[in-house]
Amino acid sequence: MSLRPFVVLAVLTGVIGSPNIRPEAEVDPSAHPNSLPETVEETEIFGQQVVLAKEEVEEDVMATGELNPSHYPAQRAAKVVQHYLNTRYGSPYRLYGQQMVHSGNAEDVADSGRKYQLEISVQEMISNTTEKCSAEVLFPRGEQQRSAQVQASCEELLKINTKDQEEALYQQYKTNQSLLSAQHLPDRCGHMEPDMKPLWHLCIVASSFVMLNESTENTLYNMAQVANITQLATENDQLKFDCHILLHEMVSQEIIHWKLLFTWSPPEGVKVLQMEQLPHCHHCEKPPNTN
């Protein structure tokens, strides 16, 4: 392990996705792709952290035993916990995000894969409530990629009651004379109308199903933008939406397009019916501040 002093401005994934992602930021070409700064000064912005790195410590992504909480191995596993919580408990008024990794440990588990045990702080973003949680993430081993298996204990965050808000929004969407539709959430300047935020939050929750399914020890996904979303007619109690989302894979710096079909109601939560990765689009409009 070697220390190399340098100064670089890097944008890391935040807790629920950022309208201000900058994949074009310069990085040291000799730097290890799985290293993160040892010493950092952090400034929190909604949906992201801006990190001024003063030193970089190389660390093998497959390290076992105690992990540096600031480095990619621990951060990647913790990010998967965020996606898991959103798929299980997320709603237009309840979004979970990783705030801090306190400690982490990794070990090989026979032929099953690699297991990470974490102590992390998880934040419910809308109520701005934070709890220290224990979590376990198993990345399965094998030729065929399988979703990570996650267990997380965040009892206090799960007690946050948003039923009245969700029911009011559901009735509003259900009784609208015209079906909802929106494009570019957020827009090129990183803004969106306040009444569009519940749709944005719904798409974040739906996107967590994709990111949980696609996450490995070598990826770090973040929600970048909703290209478009359309409410579809339905004859049952579930509201149905078709959306095109853009995900930012922070390691490769790729912007990946996905098409999702999902439903939502307060009793049932968000259910993703279909997910399809779209071909790379050279002429498509890019998300805000992404070059």
- For residue 37, pLDDT over 90 is answered with no
Model confidence at 58, in pLDDT bands (50, 70, 90)? very low
Question: Contacts by 284-287 with C-beta closer than 8 Å and gap 24+?
Answer: 284/227, 284/257, 285/184, 285/227, 286/255, 287/19, 287/21, 287/224, 287/225, 287/246, 287/248, 287/255
How remote is the C-alpha of 274 from its chain's centroid?
19
pLDDT of residue 87: 97
As a whole number of angstroms, the distance between CA 93 and CA 160 comes to 10
Task: Compare 51 and 213 and report the one with higher pLDDT.
Answer: 213
Q: What is the mean pLDDT of the chain?
A: 80
Among 290, 245, 194, residue whose Cα is nearest residue 16:
245
Average pLDDT of span 64-71: 91
Per-residue pLDDT at 132? 96
Residue 103 predicted with pLDDT over 80: yes
131-171 pLDDT tens trace: 999 999 999 987 777 889 999 999 999 899 999 999 999 99
- Beta-carbon neighbour count of residue 121 at 10 Å? 16
Instruction: Decide if pLDDT at 288 tops 60.
Output: no
**pLDDT at position 182:** 94
The letter for the amino acid at 193 is E
Which of the four pLDDT bands, split at 50, 70 and 90, describes residue 64? confident
> In this predicted structure, which of 32-36, 179-183, 227-231 has the lowest mean pLDDT?
32-36
Q: Which domains does the chain have, with CATH numbers?
A: 163-277 (3.10.450.10)
Cα 226 to Cα 154: distance, rounded to the nearest angstrom: 28
- The pLDDT, as a whole number, for residue 16 is 42
pLDDT at 47: 40
Q: pLDDT tens, 232-276?
A: 999 899 999 999 999 999 989 999 999 999 999 999 999 999 999
Please indicate whether residue 38 or residue 151 has the higher confidence score (pLDDT). Answer: 151
How much of the chain, in percent, has pLDDT values that exceed 90? 64
Cβ pair 205, 189 in contact under 8 A? no
Q: What is the mean pLDDT of residues 95-114?
A: 93
**223, 158 in Cβ contact below 8 A?**
no
Question: How far is CA 201 from each of CA 91, 194, 197, rounded to the nearest angstrom?
Answer: 7, 11, 6
